[in-house]
Structure 1
């Protein structure tokens, strides 16, 4: 029963985040339309939920982490991760799995032994339990995703080696 309640709570939080993204995008679009009428250009250097704090452990390149939600009763953690162009995290796995909701830029996700998948805003990645993988930005684009870690209490991450430049270049077809 507790697991069902936690999953429902996690799904509620995700739906609220997505609703917020959609509302923000609609507000942003109407502001952009208003400004286009005034011949002004609007750009944002900040990801939707802000840049957050710089993180370096288990990453090649510059990355930032912005915690979004981690209510104990939900047993689910949500966080925004932004990767500078060419940045990626190390090979790693999650005991229970992970979900990525891509919100900005172009990125890649790759499971060990498989071809990389190109990610764009709106891409959703459901990462199975104990699957060795990495994710990060394209060489020429910043990339942001919301990470969702379900069952935080039992979902430890196991970090491995960095993704080599050769592995990265093959994955993104440089």
Structure 2
């Protein structure tokens, strides 16, 4: 058994190359062989979001608080709330972040493939981010 207290898992600012706005990440699980699981709580200020990206083994997000915006390349912007889950297939280009007027925190879960959990692409344009969400 290994226990890590909240004090031992300090939050860190997300890298500006892959995020827009104020975003904080806190590790829940890091891949340790034979496990490939990576899990983080990620907190977004209003308007903050990821860049477009993919995950080699897919990704699952559990929205913990606030309003989350998500989009797959070519698809509509969707808005989710606490308790909602979204799953992205391996290689699916997508982004996610907070709504323009509310912060959001989610639990992000993905597996590492050859030590890689994400492939980062270009930033999401302001026009794409501000598209009205669809049901």
TM-score (norm 1): 0.66
1:54-73 aligned at under 5 Å gives the runs 54-55=13-14, 56-72=16-32, 73=34
Task: Please say if residues 110 and 171 of structure 1, whose CA atoms lie closer than 8 Å, have aligned partners that are also in contact.
Answer: no
Aligned partners of 1:71, 1:131: CA distance in 2, in Å? 21
Note the C-alpha offset of 1:95: 1.3
The answer to whether residue 105 in structure 2 is matched with residue 144 in structure 1 is: yes
Specify whether residues 171 and 157 from structure 1 end up closer, same or farther in structure 2 by C-alpha distance, changes over 3 A only: farther
> Could you tell me which residue of structure 2 aligns to residue 161 of structure 1?
122
Q: Specify every segment of 5 or more residues in structure 2 that has no aligned partner in the other structure, as ranges.
A: 1-8
Note the C-alpha offset of 1:90: 0.4
Q: Specify every segment of 5 or more residues in structure 1 that has no aligned partner in the other structure, as ranges.
A: 1-49
Structure having greater relative contact order (Cα 8 Å, sep ≥ 6):
2
Task: Please say if residues 51 and 64 of structure 1, whose CA atoms lie closer than 8 Å, have aligned partners that are also in contact.
Answer: no
After the TM superposition, which of the residue ranges 161-170 and 66-75 deviates more from structure 2? Answer: 66-75
Deviation beyond 2 Å, 4+ runs, structure 1: 153-156
Structure possessing the higher radius of gyration over alpha carbons: 1
> Could you tell me which residue of structure 1 aligns to residue 66 of structure 2?
105
Specify whether residues 51 and 109 from structure 1 end up closer, same or farther in structure 2 by C-alpha distance, changes over 3 A only: farther
TM-score (norm 2): 0.84
Larger helix fraction of residues = 1
Aligned partners of 1:135, 1:74: CA distance in 2, in Å? 25
Aligned partners of 1:156, 1:81: CA distance in 2, in Å? 15
Aligned partners of 1:169, 1:112: CA distance in 2, in Å? 15
Task: Please say if residues 138 and 172 of structure 1, whose CA atoms lie closer than 8 Å, have aligned partners that are also in contact.
Answer: no
The answer to whether residue 35 in structure 2 is matched with residue 81 in structure 1 is: no
Larger strand fraction of residues = 2
How many residues get paired? 123
Aligned partners of 2:30, 2:18: CA distance in 1, in Å? 21
Specify whether residues 71 and 128 from structure 1 end up closer, same or farther in structure 2 by C-alpha distance, changes over 3 A only: closer
